[in-house]
């Protein structure tokens, strides 16, 4: 274990968290507004059935890009941060280069497979959505741009370039997209589903090109010792891929497909619109998750387990309070929120919004146990918990949706999310000896945010608290 004074260690972590969080917070808040604006514009530019079809193709893009990233999006953060922590810049450079290269190949392959008939068969024959089937090739191009762009942003995150990662992950493309769609809306011109997807793909491609150039310049100084092989990367990435896919099977998109198989496009649009507002509950956690992965990898590599626990638990507390307040808002004024953002038609989706928000708040309050597992070599445990959650979510959804529709799959999704996050919390404690859920200790929060005076040398060697306090 490190023998650095705890005050020094906490100060270093605090500065990096606050500096990174400032960038992530500002871009996420603006990005949240942009994302809601984009979906609000699309809900008004497209008919309800077309908006439901857009949400289905958007799910294809999200899940397809996750599959094509091959789990390397998390692996590149871990390997890059670890390499820089142990002064091996050459290893960091190899990690970025190999990860982006293989992810680009994966994205191109998934796009080709979808465009050559698989996507048309699935949406046309399985889901009976011919409108979606017709725009699969456009969606495949959008998928490639999204997957590659995300890999660039994750590479910046591994380098602790929080500003670059925050701006270039989704904020920049959302900004360009809203400007284009806003212009269409202001001139009073309607648009079709293919036109909307084409405009979004165009915006994503522009940002992708700029991001690639910036990353190339950033990587130039990464010269020196260390290397990583493709086998090393994929040994870590494979279980992370399963975990990432499991997260989406748990209700970040697959639930829409299940609902679409049994209900109309209008029902999908109501449920999907409510899902877009869940980001308001998740935003504090997304901000924290945009900063913490490289710090987890670095602290664990240096043996600072106690400091890692305190950082994660304080983070859970800081993001848990606003998440709870948003849930209260949805419970009290859900119909008004849905109507204000998407229009009067979408008021009926308020009940789905509340149900899914309850599951998400539980996930926020259990903390970043999943990230802790993935960034410390326990990615297989994370994989198992996501498989469990995904099985409950998909299996339960297929059973209840034919009888209870959107309400049934919302309840199933929220319940599966609770089970998965509880399993992750317990496994993080067993494997790492730490808890990640919210802390009610004012002293711990004060120490992380404002520093600790008079800490004794060697404090960081103490074992992490396991009393749950």
Confidence of residue 144 (pLDDT cuts 50, 70, 90): very high
The tens digit of pLDDT for each residue in 257-279 reads 888 878 877 888 888 888 888 87
- What is the mean predicted confidence (pLDDT) over 130-158? 88
How many C-beta atoms lie closer than 10 Å to residue 15's C-beta? Answer: 11
Q: How far apart are CA 5 and CA 454, in angstroms?
A: 9
Place of tokens 């995904």: 390
The answer to whether residue 1 scores a pLDDT higher than 70 is no
pLDDT at position 422 is: 92
Confidence of residue 3 (pLDDT cuts 50, 70, 90): very low
**What are the C-alpha distances in Å from 15 to residues 12, 143, 148, 175?**
5, 36, 30, 29
pLDDT at position 142 is: 92
- What is the mean predicted confidence (pLDDT) over 135-152? 90
pLDDT at position 395 is: 87
The tens digit of pLDDT for each residue in 341-365 reads 888 888 988 999 999 999 889 988 8
Mean confidence (pLDDT) of the chain: 80
- Mutual orientation of helices 89-113 and 193-219 as an angle, nearest 10°? 160
The tens digit of pLDDT for each residue in 285-302 reads 776 776 677 778 778 877
Confidence of residue 463 (pLDDT cuts 50, 70, 90): very low
pLDDT at position 286 is: 72
pLDDT at position 329 is: 93
Q: How far apart are CA 348 and CA 334, in angstroms?
A: 9
Spatial contact of 301 and 85, defined as CB atoms under 8 Å apart: yes
The answer to whether residue 181 scores a pLDDT higher than 50 is yes
- What is the mean predicted confidence (pLDDT) over 436-450? 67
How many C-beta atoms lie closer than 10 Å to residue 391's C-beta? Answer: 15
pLDDT at position 25 is: 62
pLDDT at position 239 is: 75
């Amino acid at each position: 274990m490190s023998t650095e004074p705890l005050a020094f260690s906490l100060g270093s972590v605090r500065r990096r968290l606050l500096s990174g969080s400032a960038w992530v917070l500002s871009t996420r808040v603006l990005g949240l507004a942009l994302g809601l604006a984009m979906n609000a514009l699309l809900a008004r530019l497209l008919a309800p059935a077309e908006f439901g079809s857009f949400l289905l193709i958007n799910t294809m893009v999200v899940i397809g890009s996750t599959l094509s990233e091959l789990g390397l999006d998390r692996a590149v953060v871990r390997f890059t941060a670890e390499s820089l922590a142990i002064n091996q810049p050459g290893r960091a450079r190899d990690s970025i280069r190999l990860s982006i290269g293989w992810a680009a190949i994966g994205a191109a392959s998934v796009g080709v497979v979808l465009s050559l008939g698989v996507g048309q068969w699935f949406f046309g024959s399985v889901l009976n959505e011919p409108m979606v089937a017709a725009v699969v090739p456009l969606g495949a191009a959008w998928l490639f741009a999204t997957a590659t762009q995300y890999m660039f942003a994750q590479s910046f995150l591994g380098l602790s370039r929080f500003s670059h990662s925050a701006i270039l992950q989704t904020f920049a493309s959302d900004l360009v997209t809203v400007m284009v769609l806003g212009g269409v809306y202001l001139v009073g011109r309607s648009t079709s589903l293919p036109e909307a997807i084409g405009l979004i793909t165009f915006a994503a491609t522009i940002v992708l090109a700029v991001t690639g150039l910036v990353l190339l310049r950033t990587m130039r100084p990464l010269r020196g010792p260390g290397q990583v092989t493709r086998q090393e990367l994929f040994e870590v990435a494979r279980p992370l891929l399963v975990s990432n896919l499991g997260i989406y099977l748990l209700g970040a998109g697959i639930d829409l497909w299940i609902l679409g198989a049994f209900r109309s496009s209008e029902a999908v649009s109501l449920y999907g619109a409510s899902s877009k507002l869940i980001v308001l509950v998740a935003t504090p956690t997304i901000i924290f998750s945009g900063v913490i992965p490289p710090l987890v990898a670095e602290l664990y590599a240096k043996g600072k387990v106690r400091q890692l626990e305190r950082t994660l638990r304080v983070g859970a507390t800081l993001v848990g309070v606003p998440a709870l307040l948003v849930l209260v808002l949805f419970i009290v004024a859900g119909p008004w929120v849905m109507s204000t953002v998407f229009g009067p038609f979408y008021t009926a989706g308020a009940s789905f919004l509340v149900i899914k928000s309850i599951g998400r708040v539980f996930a926020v309050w259990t903390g970043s146990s999943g990230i802790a597992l993935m960034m410390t070599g326990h990615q297989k445990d994370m994989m198992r918990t996501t498989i469990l959650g995904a099985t409950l979510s998909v299996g339960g959804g297929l059973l209840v949706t034919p009888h209870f529709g959107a309400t049934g799959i919302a309840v199933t999704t929220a319940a599966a999310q609770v089970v998965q996050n509880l399993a992750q919390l317990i496994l993080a404690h067993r494997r790492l000896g730490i808890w990640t859920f919210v802390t009610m200790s004012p002293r711990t929060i004060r120490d992380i945010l404002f520093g600790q005076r008079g800490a004794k040398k060697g404090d960081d060697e103490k074992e992490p608290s396991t009393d749950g306090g």
